[in-house]
Amino acid sequence: MARRVTAIESLLVEKGLITSDVVDAVIETYERDVGPLNGARVVARAWVDEAYRGRLLDDGTQAIGELGFGGAEGEHLVVLENTPEVHNVVVCTLCSCYPWPVLGLPPRWYKSFAYRARMVREPRAVLTEFGTTLGDDVEVRVWDSSADVRYMVLPLRPDGADGLTEDDLVPFVTRDHMIGVVR
């Protein structure tokens, strides 16, 4: 894969369609400005700031924008809160609508037909394949992202994380938590 990417990049540069600086800028954008670290910062803030958490659940787009994240693929963001009684999980049954500013590029499995179809029909089985086993007392809610609305899950704060700072909490949050495939 790396060789193919290098070959394509070299060909595009050689033909004058792009420059190496453009490639570097795109890579830097996804490493620094767009990605799951942004979402982790949103989640960590919500875990330590109750007022922010309220704003986030009330208007995800606006609250996420307060932290400087938004833009293309980040309009109309709804944040779904996991609780001990409810577990939310996100899928896009049509294609792969996904909130890039807070989750980065969608993983390959998120775009797969199997994930898209099975998550709706048998969410508990799919979650188990991700290592997430939920008791029968936990309601599973599956949310279908679209071009009109994209979802992000606010996961449960980890046990034993009391007293940790916002920065300390960021590493606890992964993309898979914010999609809802892991608890």
> What residue ranges do the domains of the chain occupy?
1-33, 36-179
Task: Give bridge partners of residue 91 from the DSSP assignment.
Answer: 144
- Overall CATH class of domain 36-179: alpha beta
Please choose, from the candidates 58, 50, 29, 71, the residue with its C-alpha nearest in 3D space to the C-alpha of residue 166. 50
Backbone phi, psi, residue 165, to 5°: -80, 170
Would you state the pLDDT for residue 2? 76
Instruction: List, for residues 129-164, the tens digit of each pLDDT value.
Output: 999 999 999 999 999 999 899 999 999 999 999 899
Active-site positions read: 92, 95-97
pTM (two decimals): 0.84
Which H helix or E strand runs over 109?
A: helix 108-111
Share of the chain above pLDDT 70, in %: 97
More confident residue, 11 or 63: 63
Residues in the chain: 183
94 SS3 class: coil
